[in-house]
Amino acid sequence: MIYPDDDNGDVLRRMEAEGDNLSLPRNIDFTVVFPDESAAERFAGHFREQGFAASVEHAETVKELPWDVIVVKYMVPSHQEIGDFETALQEVAGTLGGRNDGWGCFSEPS
């Protein structure tokens, strides 16, 4: 498959090259980072209300945004769907001083 030349496309190309069957759905963890616990909890609550699993932790992966929220979505790892969900996450995160910080999932062998 041909993917756009961007971060998500790079990850999907690498996954495919390593033998991942990208047609199989799986849980994908989307990380969104925040400046404080209150904003992180509000963001997580918003997505929990929509039926997603969301966890909050003080991780300091990004020094100026030390609170991580992991939102889990069961989906096929397609470039379009990942991008669309990242956009939805950022629309809410931006109002709370947060930003997307990537995604990850376990491999599903071909």
Dihedral, 83, 98, 42, 78 alpha carbons, nearest 10: 10
pLDDT for position 8: 97
Question: Model's pTM, two decimal places?
Answer: 0.95
Q: What is the mean pLDDT of the chain?
A: 97
Q: What average pLDDT does this structure show over 13-33?
A: 97
How much is the pLDDT for 1? Answer: 80
Burial of 74 (0-12, 13-18, 19+ CB in 10 A): exposed
- Rounded to 5 degrees, what are φ and ψ at 104? -160, 165
E strand or H helix at 71? strand 65-75
Position 62 confidence tier, pLDDT thresholds 50, 70, 90:
very high
pLDDT surpasses 80 at 4: yes
Sign of CA dihedral 23, 24, 27, 29: negative
